[in-house]
Amino acid sequence: MAQQHYSRYEKARILGARALQVSYGAPVLVDTQESQPILIAAEEYDAGVLPFTVRRGEEQ
């Protein structure tokens, strides 16, 4: 599955939300040596394993 192209604002929002989840104890979805939640979130994003969707515009 190809990774969707996100704007830099969408990417920042996704990484921030995931970093918050990790900081509160959510399981990490990739094998990593990182200890900072934002770096863990970035690795997960790069691996394409984040279960986030982005809704754009007024989709109903």
Domain assignment present for 17: yes
Domain assignment present for 23: yes
Domain assignment present for 33: yes
The reported pTM is 0.84
Domain assignment present for 3: no
Phi first, then psi: give them for residue 54, nearest 5 degrees.
-120, 125
Q: Residues 17-36: what's their mean pLDDT?
A: 96
Domain assignment present for 56: no
Containing structural domain, residue 27: 8-47
Task: Outline where 7-53 has alpha helix (H).
Answer: 8-23, 37-47
Domain assignment present for 54: no
Residue 39, domain CATH = 3.90.940.10
pLDDT of 3 reads 60
What is the domain count for the chain? 1
Residue 1's pLDDT band (boundaries 50, 70, 90)? very low
Q: Residues 43-47: what's their mean pLDDT?
A: 96
